Amino acid sequence: FERIYFSRGSDAAIYKERKNLGKFIFPKVLEHINNDLNNTVFSYIPNTAETSFFGLTEAAEDYLNKHKLDTILKGNKNISAKDLTELLSVRPRIEKIAIKDAKLRTFIADDNSRDDLVAHVYDVTYGVVKPTDNLVIIDDSIVRGTTLKKSIIKILDRLNPKKIIVVSSAPQIRYPDCYGIDMARLEEFIAFKATLELLKDNNQYHIIDEVYQKCKENIDNPDPKNYVKEIYALFTAEQISFKIGELLKTESINAKVEIIFQSIDNLHKAIPDHPGDWYFTGNYPTKGGMRVVNKAFMNFYEGKKERAY
């Protein structure tokens, strides 16, 4: 996660990795827009997502170039100059949709004021999105989803697109970090919230009690396991992503809202030399990490608003 979000984007390796994160998620984006690039606008938010956006749009350009080549090779060799020019002119619709006031910063604001501040920090570009368009916005990651729900999606919906697709260049963040980044409480993660809702929808919420008992019984186990994994294992990543989309869409939003996350396989493909993925998989490299995630779950279950470390 440090390399996806916090590290300096000017570093050569970081820049390449972030571009690849955008590139590798394009096939999934293509599925969500039903291969309809003519009616899709691509953009990004926040500014730190610009590098992965470059990778995403380059992948879109490669896809279109292959389509053009196939059309020419399989088509009529006597194609007119007009038709050929029209074919070659097709390109991804790339726009600067969200415009940020450089004088204002949101990162250091507290949770309550940050969402209100975002609404004033960002403005949108009108006149480039049609009611028949998909609006694809790539972000570095989606952790809690609160800013998306309270501000960003509402801002984007002003443009009246048919569908808003928010793309996370990172996989679903499911587990707390105990090695540096302050992400301590499970119940704050939108992926965890969505999974709880899926348990309720499928009459499986009793799993929460069972996992709590396992965490409690093994609190002093010298070789602990991550029992929270059992909750996520009941659903596919796609099911959780779909539920996240439902949770982030409020009644005031007219557009359809879909959320796409990076796959774990593509994460490792994009960042091959740094395999740490415990935020996403729960595969902590130390026993202390396993204890922290189980303690974090116990805190959630017991209603304790405190850190697990």
In a domain, 76, yes or no: yes
Query: What is the share, in percent, of the chain residues with pLDDT greater than 90?
Result: 67
In a domain, 159, yes or no: yes
In a domain, 307, yes or no: no
In a domain, 136, yes or no: yes
Confidence label for 46 from pLDDT (cuts 50, 70 and 90): confident
The answer on pLDDT for 309 being more than 80 is: no
In a domain, 104, yes or no: yes
Task: Give the largest Cα separation in the chain, rounded.
Answer: 77
**Residue 203, SS3 per DSSP:** coil
- CATH value at residue 132: 3.40.50.2020
Confidence label for 77 from pLDDT (cuts 50, 70 and 90): low
Instruction: Give the CA distances from residue 201 to residues 197, 247, 251, 290, in Å, rounded to whole numbers and listed in that order.
Output: 6, 13, 20, 28
Is the whole model's pTM more than 0.85, yes or no? yes
**Could you read off the pLDDT of 247-282 as tens digits, one per residue?**
999 999 999 999 999 999 999 999 998 888 988 999
The one-letter amino acid code at 198 reads: L
Specify whether the CB–CB gap between 228 and 297 falls below 8 A: yes
| pLDDT for res 34 | 96
In a domain, 151, yes or no: yes
In a domain, 260, yes or no: yes
- What is the span of the domain harbouring residue 105? 2-302
Domains in the chain, number: 1
In a domain, 308, yes or no: no
